[in-house]
Amino acid sequence: MKLDKTLGQLFAATATLFLAASVHAGIIVSSYSMPDGADLYGAYFDNLYNGASDSNRYLSGGTGDLTDGVLTSSVAAGYGAWAPYVLWIGQSPKIIFDLGGLYALTDVTAYFKYYPQAAVYIPGSVSLRFSSDGVSFGSAQQRLFDNTERVPGGNDSNGIYHLLGGSATAQFVELTLNNGPENYWLALSEVVFDGATATAVNSVPEPDTGELLFGAAIALGLLRIRQEPKRSARRMW
């Protein structure tokens, strides 16, 4: 009986661990801007986008399908089942994410859908550029996908890729999904950023405890020096 209970607790703990591992929260993205996906089947565009869309269907100032926490989902049910994805055809869309503050990034993960029967492929590569102000971006990092990576499985399989090639500190991240040799559909579900908040290098550093103590010691020393002549004078009397 006791062993059963212990085993039960162990299974419950393991289940919690697996549940935690299936969630990838990351940094809360403030907004992203990009050309909207195809206006087809009530599903291929960015269904959840809550920002503005201009006359060219360029999205800005909001978030949507790419940051809603739905990382992967089956599209076996048909056209409508692609709603959690944004799909572009024959394009290499550029997406600019605003992380809402400066971060030292440790990981950028992209979740794509692969469905060759429907001509939905993995990009040939992704270019990344970083910026602290959203105006000047540094030189691009290229993340190439080799032929093995570009075939993550059969129809309805998920292509999950870590994009960051080195360290990067940024508030704005620009991703360009470079369409592969097929130049057909790309289907993106989510982009997740991981990292720690960072402070700008030109900010004034706060004095730490050691510096404060050192300052206090100097002040005390100066006080003693000032008091010294008084004592000497008293002795003279």
Q: Does 68 bind Ca ion (CB under 5 A)?
A: yes
Judged by CB, which is closer to Ca ion: 48, or 151?
48
- The phi-psi region of residue 229 (left if phi > 0; otherwise alpha if psi is between -120 and 50; otherwise beta) is alpha
Question: What's the min distance (Å) between Cβ of 101 and Ca ion?
Answer: 22
Binding mask 34-63 for Ca ion (x = CB under 5 A): -------------x----------------
**Is the CB of 102 or the CB of 123 nearer to Ca ion?**
123
Task: Mark the segment that binds Ca ion (CB under 5 A) among 49-57, 78-86, 90-98, 121-129.
Answer: 78-86
Nearer to Ca ion, 178 or 189 (CB): 189
98 binds Ca ion (CB under 5 A): no
79-84's contacts with Cβ under 8 Å and 24+ in sequence apart are 79/40, 79/41, 79/43, 80/41, 80/42, 80/43, 81/43, 82/41, 82/43, 82/44, 82/113, 82/187, 83/42, 83/43, 83/47, 84/47, 84/189
- Contact flag: residue 190 with Ca ion (CB under 5 A): yes
Q: Quick one: three-class SS letters along 140-188?
A: CEEEECCCCCCCCCCCCEEEEEECCCCCEEEEEEEEEEECCCCCCEEEE
141 lies in the site for Ca ion, by CB under 5 A = no
Between 26 and 102, name the residue whose CB sits nearer to Ca ion: 26
Interface contacts to Ca ion, rule CB under 5 A: 47, 65, 68, 70, 83, 189-190
